[in-house]
Structure 1
Amino acid sequence: MPIKIPDKLPATDILRGENIFVMSEARASSQEIRPLKVLLLNLMPKKIETETQFLRLLSNSPLQVDVELLRIDNRPTRNTPTEHLDTFYRQFEMVKDRNFDGLIVTGAPLGLVQFEDVLYWEEIQTIMNWAKEHVTSTLFVCWAAQAGLKLLYDLPKRTRKEKLSGVYWHRIHDCHNPILRGFDDSFLAPHSRYADFSPEYLAEHTDLDVLATSEQAGVYLAATKDKRNVFVTGHPEYDVDTLHNEYVRDVGEGMEPNVPVNYYPDNNPGNPPIASWRSHGHLLFSNWLNYCVYQQTPYDLEHFSEANFTKDE
C-alpha cells in the first residue's frame, strides 16, 4: 500500500521516480480504508531532504499511511524555502487536539548544545508530553532519542569526546521481539552524533528493552516494553551521500573531521560511498508501523486511551 502525501510536495516526484507507490489525496479519499495517521516532526535544517528520506522508508509497508509534516516553530530557515514550510507544514497548535497513530521525531544538529540552551526545548517538552495522551507509538531518531531519554527518564546529556560518524555493525539481542522480526543477527546502520548511549548505562537507569547494540557505537535500538516509545540512535533514513555531504561540510568549515568509518571503499573519501543499510532501514520502519503502531492503535482514534495498550505483542 502507498503513502499519502500532498501532490505538490517535492518528495512526490522523487519517490514516484523511484517507482514508489505514492497515492494522490483524491484517490485516497475514495478508498474504503482507515489509513494510519503519522505525524513527522522534522527538526533537521534541510527539511525537504529529510522529509523525503523518511517518506521513502514509510512507503515500504502493506499499510496505507497518511503523513502530516510538523514544524517546531515559525522561525525562518535558510535551508528550506518559507513557501514550502507554509504550504506543507503544520504548527503544533493545528494538531494538538487530534490523535495520531504514530509520531516520528527526527534528529537535529544539536549534539554539542545543552538541552536548556536549545531554543525550542520547551516546545519539545510540550510535544513529547502531548504524545503520551495522543499518539500510539513515538519513534525518536538520533538527537531526538537523547531528548526523549531526558524527558522520559531524566537522563542527563552524555557527550562523546569525538563525533561518531560512519556505518557500524550491530547485533540484535532478542530475535523474538517483533521490532526485530526478520532482522539478520548482525546488520549495518549509519551514525552521525556526539551523544553517548552505552548498554550498561541504559540498563542501570531505565527499564528499556535494549534491542540492538554495536561495540563501537553503543546502543542503536531500544524500546519501552509496551512499544509506545522506540529509540533509534543512528540514521537508518540517510541517503547514500548524506554522510559524505556532512564530511565535506565539516572539512570546509576547518573542523578536521575523521573519515566516516566503514563508508568509503578503501576508506578513501575520493571513492563514491556505497549504501549498505537500505534493507535494514526499510525493515525497521515496516516493523515499527506494523507491530508498534498498527497492531496497537485503536480503530477509532477518537477513542484513544492508554488502556488500549498492553505489554504483550
Structure 2
Amino acid sequence: MKRILVFLLIPVSVFGQINTAEMDAYFKNKQYKKAENVLTDFIKSNPENLEALEYLGDAYGYQERWDNAISIYKKLVNFKPKEANYHYKYGGALGMKALQNKFKAIGFIGDIKKAFITAAELDKDHINVRWALVELYVQLPLVFGGSSNTALTYANELENLSKVDGYLAKGYVYEYDDEPELAEKYYKMAIKTGGSLVCFDKLTQFYENKNKPGHAIKNIEEAHEKHQRNAMHYQIGKVAAEYNVELDKGEKCLIIYLENYSSKDGVPKAWANYRLAQIHYHKKNKEQALKYINLALNELPKIEPFKTHKQKVLNM
C-alpha cells in the first residue's frame, strides 16, 4: 500500500509528461504565474519537452514578458523547424516586443516577416498567421516593406480558407487604405456570409471611425435582432452618448441594459451610468446627469473619465 502511495505522489515530471489538464486549468483561470512556476520546475528535468516549452512560452506571453517568450519560442523553432505554429508564435512575440519599443522595432521587422512567412509556407491552412501578415503589411510604412497589395494577397488566401475571414481582412485593408466604400462592402459581405457578432462589431467600429453614428446604431440594432444580447443595449447607448445623437433611444437602451444586467454582459454597470450621465449632460439635465455620474463613481471611484465628467456636470 505504501509503495502505491509513493508512486501516486511522484511528480509527473519524473515520467517526462506534462499534466495538460492542470495546465489548461491554470490558463483558463488566468493563473499564468502559477503555471510558469510549475512548468519551470518541470523543464529543469525535461529540457526538451516541446509541449511544456510551448506552455511556458504562452505563460510568458500572457504576462507580456516578451523577452522570455521570444527565448522559449526560438528554442521551439530550433528544436522543430518544420512546425508552423512555433514560427507563428515566435513572430508574434517579436511583434509584441517591437510594439513596446518602437525605436528598436526596425531591427525586428526582418525576423517578424521571416517567421510569419515561414509559418504560412509550412501550413497552407493556417488562418491566424495569414491574419498576422495582413496586419503586418498594412501597418508597416512603405519604406520598411509595407504594402496594401501584399496584404490583399494574404487576404485572398484567407478568403480561400474562410470566406468570412477573407472579407473581414479585405475590409480591414481597404479601411486602412482610406477606401471606405470598399471597406463597407466587404464588412457587409462578412455579415451576410457569417453574421457573427465579430462581423457586426467590425462594421460598427468602421462606422464609428468614419463618424457615422446613425449607421453604427442601425447596425447594432440589426445585430441585436439576430443575436439578442443585452450588451448591445449598452453599445447603442454608448454611441448615442459619445456622438450626441438619438439620445432618447440611447437612454432607453441603457436603462434596459441596467435592468437586465449580468456579469456575462461584460461592461460594468458603472459605465452604463456614466453614459446616462453623458446623455443627460447633452440634454442639459444637470440633476439627472449628477445622479448618474455619482452612481458611476460610487462603483468605480478611480476612473478618470468619470471624475472629469463630474466636473463638467458641476460646471453646467
Normalised by the size of structure 1, how large is the TM-score? 0.28
- Structure with the larger strand share: 1
Q: Compare relative contact order (CA 8 Å, sep 6+) and give the higher one, 1 or 2.
A: 1
TM-score, L = length of structure 2: 0.28
Considering fraction of residues, name the structure with more helix: 2
